[in-house]
A and B are shown apart, each in its own frame.
Chain A
């Protein structure tokens, strides 16, 4: 099973700051990696698929990069509605797996 390690576990930032979230895979997943955002009491929302493609309706301040084993989700300037938990997810190898999440909270 591929293990996805997300860091940091928590990121405390002010609105307007840049957020950089990391996801490292225990083996290569090529670019079969997605990022999801989840707010309390809500279902997750797809942000990025195939490592760097924004899903429909996702603002341009969200961007994804990486390939192989190292991936990054960047939020260029945090808006108040961006504070949430973010998960990475690989679909390269069965069983598909999620990272444990990074919580981005308001400083």
Chain B
């Protein structure tokens, strides 16, 4: 069974930093592209960032929505089956539940599996 468990959400001051983690199990983590999606309180979904799977290489491609470019960094540790999102220079508008998602399957880039989410609150 595919399981994704996010952690690391917290209350942080504007300008602060936070690192989210997503522990994956039930599948070959290294083979799958992974994505972070967020949802501000009472609002819709927003795609945040994506990292490709290894496909036998140590090179990964990463992608970001414009509002987080230069502030957020997505990474993965395949030895630990864990996805990360390093968030720096946090702003009030980054307040949201952050979901870790896995593609439905190889070549099927829809988010077929979701974690339960972790709440990040940026406030003074």
CB within 8 Å for A43 and B116 given contacts A55-B110, A95-B65, A95-B66: yes
Tell me if B72 counts as interface (CB < 8 A to partner A).
no
What A residues does B45 contact at CB under 8 A? 36, 38, 44, 87, 89, 98, 101
Chain A 81-107 interface mask (CB, 8 Å, partner B; 1/0): 000010101010011111111000000
Chain A 43-75 interface mask (CB, 8 Å, partner B; 1/0): 111100110000110000000000000000000
Could you tell me if B109 and A94 are in contact, using CB atoms closer than 8 angstroms? no
Could you tell me if B110 and A100 are in contact, using CB atoms closer than 8 angstroms? no
What A residues does B55 contact at CB under 8 A? none
Provide the main secondary structure of the chain B interface.
strand
Chain B 81-114 interface mask (CB, 8 Å, partner A; 1/0): 0000000000000000001000010001111101
CB within 8 Å for A50 and B110 given contacts A43-B115, A43-B117, A95-B66: yes
Residue from B63, B109, B110, B116 with most neighbouring chain A CB atoms (10 Å): B110
Could you tell me if A101 and B63 are in contact, using CB atoms closer than 8 angstroms? no
What A residues does B109 contact at CB under 8 A? 32, 91
Could you tell me if A96 and B50 are in contact, using CB atoms closer than 8 angstroms? yes
Tell me if B44 counts as interface (CB < 8 A to partner A).
yes
In the assembled complex, the CB of A101 is this many whole angstroms from the nearest CB of chain B, namely 5
Assembled-state Cα–Cα distance A87/B47 (Å): 12
What B residues does A95 contact at CB under 8 A? 47, 63-66
* CB nearest neighbor in A for B111: A46
9 contacts between A and B (CB under 8 A): A43-B116, A43-B117, A46-B111, A49-B104, A49-B112, A96-B47, A98-B44, A98-B47, A99-B44
Residues of chain B touching chain A, judged by Cβ–Cβ distance below 8 Å, are 37, 44-47, 50, 63-66, 99, 104, 108-112, 114-117
A44-B114, A91-B110 are known; give 19 further A-B pairs, CB within 8 A. Answer: A34-B110, A36-B45, A38-B45, A43-B99, A43-B114, A43-B115, A44-B37, A44-B45, A46-B104, A50-B110, A55-B112, A87-B44, A89-B45, A91-B109, A98-B45, A98-B46, A100-B44, A101-B44, A101-B45
